[in-house]
A and B are shown apart, each in its own frame.
Chain A
Amino acid sequence: MTVDAAKLVRMAEQITANMAYTDDVELVAARVADHLNRFWDPRMRQAMAEVANGDADQLSPALKAAVRQLHGVAGEGAL
Chain B
Amino acid sequence: MNLYYRVGAERDLGTPAVIANSAAKGGAGAAPTVNVEIDGRSVAVPEGISVMRAAALAGANIPKLCATEDLAAFGSCRLCLVTIEGRKGYPASCTTLVEEGMVVHTQTPRLAELRRNVMELYISDHPLDCLTCAANGDCELQDMAGAVGLRTVRYGYDGAHHLDKPKDESALYFSFDPAKCIVCSRCVRACEEQQGTYALTINGRGFDSEVVASQNDAFIDSECVSCGACVKACPTATLIEKSVIEHGQPESAVITTCAYCGVGCSFRAETQGGQLVRMVPNRDGHANHGHACVKGRFAFGYATHQDRITTPLVRDSIDDEWQAVGWDEAIRTAAERLQAIQARYGRKSIGGVTSSRCTNEEVYVVQKFVRAAAGNNNVDTCARVCHSPTGYGLKTTLGESAGTQNFDSVLEADVIMVIGANPTEAHPVFASAMKRRLHQGAGLIVVDPRAIDLVQSPHVRADYHLQLKPGANVAVINALAHAVIDEGLEDEAYIRARCDLEAYRIWRAFISEARNSPEATEALSGVPAAQVRAAARLYAGAGNGAIYYGLGVTEHSQGSTMVMGIANLAMATGNLGRPGVGVNPLRGQNNVQGACDMGSFPHELTGYRHLSDEATRRLFEAEWQVALDPEPGYRIPNMFDAAIGGEFKGLYVQGEDFAQSDPDTQHVYAALSAMECVIVQDLFLNETAKFAHVFLPGCSFLEKDGTFTNAERRISPVRKVIAPLSGMDEWDITCRLATAMGYEMRYSHPSEIMDEIARLTPTFRGVSYAKLAELGSIQWPCRDEASAGTPLMHVDEFVRGKGYFAPTPYVPTDERANARYPLLLTTGRVLSQYNVGAQTRRTGAVAYHREDILEIHPTDAQVRGIVDGSWVGLKSRAGETVLRAKVTERVQPGVLYTTFHHPESGANVITTDNSDWATNCPEYKVTAVQAYPVSRPSEWQEMFHRFTAAQQQLSEQALSEA
Contacts and interface: CB of A to CB of B under 8 A. Distances in A.
Contacts of A41: 377-378, 602, 631-634, 638
Contact of B809 (A3, A4, A20): A20
A42 B920 CA distance: 16
B603 interface: yes
A11 interface: yes
Contacts of B348: 43
B557 A14 contact: yes
B645 A38 contact: no
Given A3-B645, A4-B641, A44-B638, A21 B917 contact: no
Contacts, number: 63
Contacts of B377: 41
A72 interface: yes
A2 B346 CA distance: 14
A65 B610 CA distance: 24
Nearest to B645: A2
Interface string B642-660: 1011110000000000000
Given A18-B809, A21-B807, A7 B641 contact: yes
Interface string A35-54: 10011111110000000000
A74 interface: no
A9 interface: no
Interface residues of A, number: 22
A49 to B, nearest CB: 15
Nearest to B647: A2
A61 B603 CA distance: 27
Contacts of B558: 18
17 contacts: A2-B642, A3-B642, A4-B644, A7-B641, A7-B913, A17-B811, A17-B917, A18-B558, A18-B560, A18-B811, A18-B918, A20-B809, A21-B807, A38-B610, A40-B632, A41-B602, A41-B632
Nearest to B610: A38
Contacts of B646: 2
B863 to A, nearest CB: 33
A41 B603 CA distance: 9
Chain B contact residues: helix, strand, loop or mixed: loop
A15 interface: yes
Interface string A8-25: 000100110110111000
A62 B498 CA distance: 32
B917 A15 contact: yes
Contacts of A7: 641, 913
Nearest to A71: B631
B624 interface: no
Contacts of A2: 642, 645-647
B632 A38 contact: yes
Given A17-B811, A18-B918, A4 B645 contact: yes
B561 interface: yes
B558, B612, B645, B647 — most chain A CB neighbours (10 Å): B645
Interface residues of B, number: 34
Given A18-B811, A38-B612, A11 B602 contact: no
Contacts of A39: 603, 632, 918-919
Contacts of A40: 632
Contacts of A14: 557, 811, 917
A38 B612 CA distance: 8
B367 to A, nearest CB: 16
Interface string B9-32: 000000000000000000000000
Contacts of B807: 21-22
B669 interface: no
A11 B922 CA distance: 12
B944 interface: no
Interface string B899-940: 000000000000001010111100000000000000000000
A57 to B, nearest CB: 21
Nearest to B507: A21
Nearest to B557: A14
Interface string B594-622: 00000000110000001010000000000
Contacts of B645: 1-4
A4 B807 CA distance: 30
Nearest 4 CB-CB pairings of A with B: A2-B645, A21-B807, A14-B917, A2-B647
A71 to B, nearest CB: 8
B747 to A, nearest CB: 30
Contacts of B808: 21
B514 to A, nearest CB: 15
A33 to B, nearest CB: 14
Contacts of A18: 558, 560-561, 809, 811, 917-918
B510 interface: yes
B917 to A, nearest CB: 4
For B560, B632, B633, B920, the residue with the greatest tally of chain A CB atoms inside 10 Å of its CB is B632
Interface in B493-539: 506, 510
Contacts of B602: 41
Interface string B669-696: 0000000000000000000000000000
Contacts of A17: 809, 811, 917
Contacts of B811: 14, 17-18
Given A39-B919, A43-B642, A44-B638, 5 more contacts: A7-B913, A17-B811, A21-B807, A22-B506, A42-B631
A1 B348 CA distance: 15
A42 B346 CA distance: 15
A20 B811 CA distance: 10
Contacts of A44: 638
Nearest to A35: B918
A72 B645 CA distance: 21
A2 B610 CA distance: 27
A8 to B, nearest CB: 9
Interface in B788-828: 807-809, 811
A38 B391 CA distance: 14
Interface in B528-573: 557-558, 560-561
Nearest to A2: B645
A39 B602 CA distance: 8
Contacts of A4: 641, 644-645
A74 B573 CA distance: 47
A72 B631 contact: yes
A35 to B, nearest CB: 7
Interface centre among A2, A18, A43 (most CB of B within 10 A): A18
A28 to B, nearest CB: 11
